[in-house]
Chain A
């Protein structure tokens, strides 16, 4: 049979087909190369693990904060068997055996070795400190199930330049249901609850700003603000207000004196009246030493009345008389006699102030008693001094709670032995005695109300005035008191404004005419808008308005002249400025109160020492 044409060949050039089945080349070589590579990698990692502290296996270098312990894994990671996960009594399971040879998660205790002294239940980095959060309310420090370990917020192995203290909002909103600052942060408590300022002073900002501006010839209102509100060295908050620096220029000048006061009569010891300087000198009570350093020339006596013609801030004669009157009225009980001002503290968690003041008084007593020659007295004083040192040390600890009930026992609710009429008579003397004080201070129950000097507000946020003043002026944010409406700048006073000013104060044009010395007709024409304000008239009216000191609903010391959250939100949004939780808040808020330099002492050696 002839061979079929084209059989066994293919293509135009008649190439032969394969004589046998073609076996494709196996791809084992691929696998072989892969295995060699894998083996090589395993060897490198293995050698690195045993000889070079597993730097390859590490998820990354530690941040520069922790770089010093990079080569010591066990500084942070515990071996599970060290934690007792596999003990002799256990019935080992596969998991427990595996776990025994692995590292445990990083425990907070390991962080605390460097970051906090041991055994401090409210140490800086504890959750308790976070719960208390500057409130000084120790009852808030209860443990919660939501507590998470340190590494959850401060993950490591993200590289040397990682900023592990910058915690995202997601960490905070897990517990705080606020969400983003510009949309879900709740209103500040003072605004939401309409809380008044607890400064305990009678103070009108507008009047004072006008005076400061006039005195210093300031043009800007803000310059006047900063004349009293002096920023601290860090620019964040303000220095406490100080009478001598901020008030003394105008207040309690040489011209100041008390009204004529009824002098106490030894024949009627329970009748209301004030002690003279001689009375204080002669009674020789503790705390009366000031009387020997006070000039009798400051007093003028007219029969049974006395006038003190030089008044000082915290005037010892007034305070001593006030104390004596309180005592006679039965208003001073417990330890309140050791205080210069009332037991009420503007911030209820600042009760330590009372103890500090009481200790200061007791120390002055000790100083007075040191002149006694009796050795028994000296010994007693030494012991008392030690006791005070101990109490002071306790008070210095920010998380030691103090009990102010000793100051309050019966205070203000005394079962006075005086009749109601007699008490009223005493209160009249108190009112007269403290008349110079009451220009600014509130006097209640025979006490000058305690003043909050530190001007602290919104203590849960980290506000930096210096950083903000570059962006906003004082009055852009502090709009609670309408300074601009009351302090018109030159050329801004119009008839409409003048009308508004008088309406606000409930006054009429006739009053303005009388105090300004301008004719009623002219004032009427100005207010009616029929004639324009000349420069001279504007100057005159501004002087009148500037001298207006009265408190109004728009300007009094109870106004919290702080921005509400909406004002902060205008800038603190993603498109304009940082709006993260940590921009204003700290998780560990009281770092200044951190452990002392005995951090290096470990628990074991401490125990041995004890």
Chain B
């Protein structure tokens, strides 16, 4: 009856716990609208708001937990994996609770608009992050022959450039021409290319057509050098793929973490404002 989710989700327990919570929230909200009104300031609405705040705060603690491995181990604060699952599922659930809190209506105040927009932004960017974290490593591992650490990419490209420069010094004019006109500019620096999002090879086949053409007119010794140059060129393109996609994984955090911090501060302001007025 239940779908087999092993291997499809990181934790089946957290997955079902999340959906059970969503259904519970749905039932609660249904009872709410049947017996009362969906308003932020009645006991129902306040309960949703408090639950959403607690989930947001709990999700934010994940960042601290990641940076406090020793303390977490010492005090047995749970595995990072579990904290991550809570961060992902708890954060998602908080969006539902926020929507229940405002009765699925748009807010009307300035602060509440900021809160609403930031909540949606943070949760959506978080979901995008989960998707990227699952998708990018998979296509990098399946489509490329090389695995590299992002921080080493500039250094490795420099290495490839040196090797290629040395190689073409002994080559004949056609190969040197190809190198100086088409390959050398590519080897200058890591390049970000959108093509890698849709084709992990970056259109490799079409780029190697020049090599195929030259191979037909060269002797066997030059052909061997050309093959080595082609290997260096292909490796550079793979490094570019790594550079593009790994950078995406890093930049995504800028869309998620700073807004999350601003959101938390706004939540505090919102709580203070509710208490004050």
Contact = CB atoms under 8 A, between A and B. Distances in A.
B253 interface: yes
Interface in A271-286: none
B26 interface: no
A48 to B, nearest CB: 9
A10 B163 CA distance: 14
Contacts of B235: 11-13, 15
Given A102-B276, A155-B41, A41 B262 contact: yes
B60 to A, nearest CB: 10
Contacts of A59: 40, 107-109, 111-112, 273, 277
A35 B63 CA distance: 14
B259 A170 contact: no
Contacts of B257: 27, 30-31, 33-34
B108 A159 contact: yes
B231 A12 contact: yes
B169 to A, nearest CB: 17
A77 interface: yes
B261 A34 contact: yes
A60 interface: yes
A528 interface: no
Interface string B247-277: 0000001100111111011100100010111
A58 interface: yes
A478 B149 CA distance: 86
Contacts of A103: 276-277
Given A15-B156, A25-B151, A155 B39 contact: yes
A24 B37 contact: no
Interface in B109-150: 109-112, 114, 145-146, 149
B253 A27 contact: yes
Given A13-B235, A22-B151, A59-B109, A37 B258 contact: yes
B149 A22 contact: yes
B112 A35 contact: no
A17 to B, nearest CB: 9
B264 A38 contact: yes
Nearest to A173: B35
Contacts of A37: 258-259, 261-262
Interface residues of A, number: 42
A60 B36 contact: no
B110 A58 contact: yes
Given A30-B254, A37-B258, A38-B261, A60 B107 contact: yes
A13 B108 contact: no
Contacts of B36: 170
Given A12-B235, A57-B111, A103-B276, A42 B265 contact: yes
Interface residues of B, number: 43
Interface in A361-381: none
A437 B87 CA distance: 88
A60 B109 contact: yes
A56 B265 contact: no
B109 A34 contact: no
A33 B254 contact: yes
Contacts of A534: none
Interface in B181-221: none
A61 interface: yes
A471 interface: no
B273 A57 contact: yes
A419 interface: no
A570 interface: no
B152 interface: yes
B159 interface: yes
A539 to B, nearest CB: 62
B100 interface: no
B232 A56 contact: no
B275 A15 contact: no
A530 interface: no
Contacts of A159: 108
A15 B163 CA distance: 10
A388 B30 CA distance: 61
Nearest to A151: B41
Tell me which of A10, A30, A77, A158 has the highest count of chain B C-beta atoms within 10 A of its own C-beta.
Answer: A30
A41 B151 CA distance: 34
A13 B262 contact: no
A78 B68 CA distance: 45
Nearest to B270: A57
A16 interface: yes
Nearest to B159: A15
B160 interface: yes
Nearest to A27: B253
B161 to A, nearest CB: 12
A45 interface: yes
Given A30-B253, A35-B261, A37-B261, A13 B231 contact: yes
Contacts of A157: 108-109
Contacts of B109: 56-61, 157
Contact of B277 (A31, A33, A45, A73): A73
A27 B67 CA distance: 10
Interface in B37-95: 37, 39-41, 63
Tell me which of B149, B235, B273 has the highest count of chain A C-beta atoms within 10 A of its own C-beta.
Answer: B273
A581 B167 CA distance: 89
B85 to A, nearest CB: 20
Nearest to A60: B108
A158 B110 CA distance: 11
A604 interface: no
Interface in A35-71: 35, 37-38, 41-42, 45, 54-61
A18 interface: yes
Tell me which of A42, A56, A73, A155 has the highest count of chain B C-beta atoms within 10 A of its own C-beta.
Answer: A56
A22 B152 contact: yes
Contacts of A593: none
A230 interface: no
A57 B114 CA distance: 11
Nearest to B149: A22
Given A22-B149, A30-B257, A170-B37, A41 B265 contact: yes
B165 to A, nearest CB: 13
A12 B266 contact: no
Interface string B8-44: 0000000000000000000000000001110111000
Contacts of B276: 57, 102-103
Contacts of A35: 261
A383 interface: no
B258 A30 contact: yes
Contacts of A22: 149, 151-152
Contact of B160 (A13, A31, A155): A13
Contacts of B37: 168, 170-171
A15 B159 CA distance: 7
Tell me which of B110, B152, B231, B275 has the highest count of chain A C-beta atoms within 10 A of its own C-beta.
Answer: B110
Given A12-B231, A41-B265, A60 B258 contact: no
Given A38-B265, A103-B276, 14 more contacts: A11-B145, A12-B235, A13-B228, A15-B156, A22-B149, A22-B151, A30-B253, A35-B261, A38-B264, A42-B265, A55-B110, A58-B110, A59-B107, A162-B108
5 contacts: A33-B257, A34-B261, A38-B261, A58-B109, A158-B108
Interface of B: 35-37, 39-41, 63, 107-112, 114, 145-146, 149, 151-152, 156, 159-160, 163, 228, 231-232, 235, 253-254, 257-262, 264-266, 269, 273, 275-277
Instruction: Report the 9 A-B pairs with minimum CB-CB distance, sorted nearest first.
Output: A60-B108, A34-B261, A34-B258, A60-B109, A38-B265, A159-B108, A57-B273, A33-B258, A30-B257
